[in-house]
Amino acid sequence: RKEVEQDPGPFNVPEGATVAFNCTYSNSASQSFFWYRQDCRKEPKLLMSVYSSGNEDGRFTAQLNRASQYISLLIRDSKLSDSATYLCVVNEERNYQLIWGAGTKLIIKP
Partner 1 sequence: EAQVTQNPRYLITVTGKKLTVTCSQNMNHEYMSWYRQDPGLGLRQIYYSMNVEVTDKGDVPEGYKVSRKEKRNFPLILESPSPNQTSLYFCASRAGGPEAFFGQGTRLTVV
Query: Which residue in 37, 83, 103, 108 binds partner 1 (CB under 8 A)?
Result: 103
Number of residues this chain uses to bind partner 1 (CB under 8 A):
21
Q: Letter for the amino acid at 67?
A: A
Inter-residue contact 104 to 11 (CB < 8 Å): yes
Which span sits near partner 1 by CB under 8 A: 13-21, 30-38, 56-64, 70-78?
30-38
- Is residue 71 within the footprint of partner 1 (CB under 8 A)? no
- Is residue 44 within the footprint of partner 1 (CB under 8 A)? yes
Return d(Cα 86, Cα 106) in angstroms, integer: 8
Return d(Cα 36, Cα 107) in angstroms, integer: 16
